[in-house]
Structure 1
Amino acid sequence: MSKTVLVTGGTGLVGKAIEAVINEEKPPNERWLFVGSKDADLTDLQSTRAMFERYQPTHVIHLAAMVGGLFHNMNNNLDFLRKNIQINDNVLLLSHEYKVQKVVSCLSTCIFPDKTSYPIDETMIHNGPPHDSNFGYSYAKRLIDITNRAYNQQHGDMFTSVVPCNVFGPFDNFTPGVSHVIPGMIHRLHETIYLTDPEKPQKEKIFSVYGTGKPLRQFIYSKDLAKLFIWVLREYENVEPIILSVDEAAEVTIAHLAESLVQGFQFKGKLEFDSSKADGQYKKTASNAKLRKLLPDFQFTDFDLAIKETVQWYIDNYEKARK
């Protein structure tokens, strides 16, 4: 039986990675459609309905969201709450109306309770308030899980969700103030090297990283996440969320990340940490035990290699990268 897979947010970081994997696979009996904001305004029900009518999907990967980095979230919690609720409600309602066989929505580890034990797992999403810095985004994303369960209970719909750790890779959003930690740092280091005081020798330049460098994070390369998303769409038959994360042992400090970026750019200047800037959550270690039980042999890309490839992509595509 053929599938028509509609990927919302398909022009972004994860969508582009999924598209790259699908283009390599060329799966028979699967038609993949990658749509972005130009195709529909997902905060508007009629615009979303017109898109579903046009494409008639049998399956949906729902990536579209209003997203941003730490400081953007801190200043716009209401917008993050309202717009993401509107987007998610419209996509799931139309998926039900058009009898979509399966929806896989994208959550995030930042939605977990701020005060919790580690590692976090899929059963702990609703155990307490999220971190104050991004409560609007977090509650909107948590509601996807609630809505999935309600559609399944009332109508039998197979709507599920995945919870990736911090994603990075080619086609990320490198825009200052909006970007997440890795693309934000890549953009600033590139500017430090090539645009700030161009006459100044690189050895005399300073790359200042926000915060102490001590917080810990799990980062997943977009190409790895793409493969896991496709596996979930094809094989994972459960409404309960599943965490898609690298192993706990692969957790790195922000300082390690900064040093990896310095190596990736072959930066010859000085690396400093600005402790006057906020660190955000110290850690949010996620357990991928559920994933490992189902896919014990999945190989994640080495972190430093993935950083090097992402840096090279940014350098090669600087003119057209989102920044």
Structure 2
Amino acid sequence: MNQEDKIYVSGHTGMVGSALVKKLKELGYRNLILKTRSELNLLDQGATRAFFEKERPDYVFHLAAKVGGIHGNRTYPADFLYENVQINTNVIHYAHVYGVKKLLNLGSVCIYPVAAEVPIKESYLLTGPLEKTNEAYAIAKIASLMYCRKLKEQYGSNFISVMPANLYGINDNFHPSNAHVIPMLMKRFHDAKLANADTVVVWGTGNPTRDFLFADDLADGLIFLMREYSEAEHINIGPGVETSIKDLVKMIVEITGYKGKIEFDHTKPDGTPRRYLDTSKINNLGWKPKYTLYEGLTIMYQWMVQNYNNLRQC
């Protein structure tokens, strides 16, 4: 991937997309093709075909997706399945038809079985049932992964898929019910500090573990993989570090400066007890994240405070 190549980033306004575009520009890539949803509706097969026919990108980072929290996935599973299958199929198919040199398809940790052993290896795909709450979204992601894999097998297309750990970062979604755990907790403790609240309640015991990857690190890793990885099998990317929700809360409390009490509501569900990715494959290629979780949270919090009145909530 050279600096003069035409590079299309789908979903460039989101958390990952904006981090990737920033990193590409820092590295001197200027021939970027960026389209908002109003400019290009990837659900529209004709519009997507016309876009690829006209622009003829050399490389594609496919990040666009319909995403949401537990509530959204439970309430609108058919919409999540249809829209994500449609978007992924349109982008991947026309990238193939119009001769894209290489495509990177971004997946999700939810593709793995709900009861998968940890750390989760790439080979655990399709070895057990999926988490019911986001099963539709996961199936759409698995379909895109398989489409990339089969295009490579049948036609030799250099299309790869990458499965990230739980993501967080600048331009995250801070919606009160749809946000993921880090932005939700960060805003909750920040608001509690401003309100001098005595207690903040956190769902569950705090014992479950997850792995968290800063969006800026993911952006760096995606560029690395676009340059260095071309296998048919998907590849995990993450910190390779298991962190309990309780320890995550402690970090966020320290960073936000909240001084009140923390109450873990044991009557609320914990979810999967342990979940983190095996990242030995990408580590063996020579990539590791730059930021620790604490460093990433600090950067994210500083950004959140500076942009508090314009936080993304969707």
State the superposition RMSD in angstroms.
1.7
Structure 1 counterpart of 2:252, from 261, 268, 271: 261
For 1:205 and 1:293, the matched residues in 2 are separated by 47
Q: 1:37 to 1:276 in 2, by over 3 A?
A: farther
Q: 1:95 to 1:214 in 2, by over 3 A?
A: same
Question: Is contact 1:174-1:322 (8 Å) kept?
Answer: yes
Deviation at 1:185, TM superposition (A): 1.7
Q: Which amino acid aligns with 2:11?
A: G
- Percent same amino acid at aligned positions? 34
Deviation at 1:209, TM superposition (A): 1.3
Other-structure match for 2:236: 243
Deviation at 1:54, TM superposition (A): 4.3
Offset from partner CA, 1:59-85 (integer Å, 9 cap, x none): 100111111123332332222111111
Deviation at 1:169, TM superposition (A): 0.5
Q: 1:176 to 1:47 in 2, by over 3 A?
A: farther
Other-structure match for 2:84: 84
Other-structure match for 1:17: 19
1:118-267 mapped onto 2 (5 Å cutoff): 118-194=118-194, 198=195, 202=196, 204-247=197-240, 250-267=241-258
For 1:34 and 1:12, the matched residues in 2 are separated by 12
For 2:22 and 2:73, the matched residues in 1 are separated by 29
Offset from partner CA, 1:269-314 (integer Å, 9 cap, x none): 1111122322222222210010111116x34311111111111110
For 2:156 and 2:290, the matched residues in 1 are separated by 34
Offset from partner CA, 1:20-59 (integer Å, 9 cap, x none): 21222214xx622333323321112122223324432111
Deviation at 1:263, TM superposition (A): 1.1
Other-structure match for 1:300: 290
Q: Which amino acid aligns with 2:19?
A: A
For 2:56 and 2:200, the matched residues in 1 are separated by 49
Other-structure match for 1:317: 307
Deviation at 1:240, TM superposition (A): 1.4
For 1:82 and 1:253, the matched residues in 2 are separated by 34
Deviation at 1:116, TM superposition (A): 2.3
Question: Is contact 1:109-1:284 (8 Å) kept?
Answer: no
For 1:186 and 1:38, the matched residues in 2 are separated by 31
For 1:14 and 1:104, the matched residues in 2 are separated by 13
**Range 274-283 or range 124-133, more displaced:** 274-283
For 1:74 and 1:279, the matched residues in 2 are separated by 17
Question: Is contact 1:69-1:181 (8 Å) kept?
Answer: no
Question: Is contact 2:193-2:259 (8 Å) kept?
Answer: no
For 1:100 and 1:167, the matched residues in 2 are separated by 27
- In the comparison of the two structures, how many residue pairs are matched? 311
Question: Is contact 2:159-2:230 (8 Å) kept?
Answer: no
Q: Normalising by structure 1, what TM-score?
A: 0.91
Offset from partner CA, 1:129-159 (integer Å, 9 cap, x none): 2111111011110111211122112222111
Q: 1:177 to 1:53 in 2, by over 3 A?
A: farther
For 1:109 and 1:144, the matched residues in 2 are separated by 14
Question: Is contact 1:213-1:253 (8 Å) kept?
Answer: yes
Q: Which amino acid aligns with 1:301?
A: Y
Q: Which runs of 5+ in 2 are unaligned?
A: none
Give yes or no for the alignment of 1:281 onto 2:272.
Answer: yes
Q: Which runs of 5+ in 1 are unaligned?
A: none
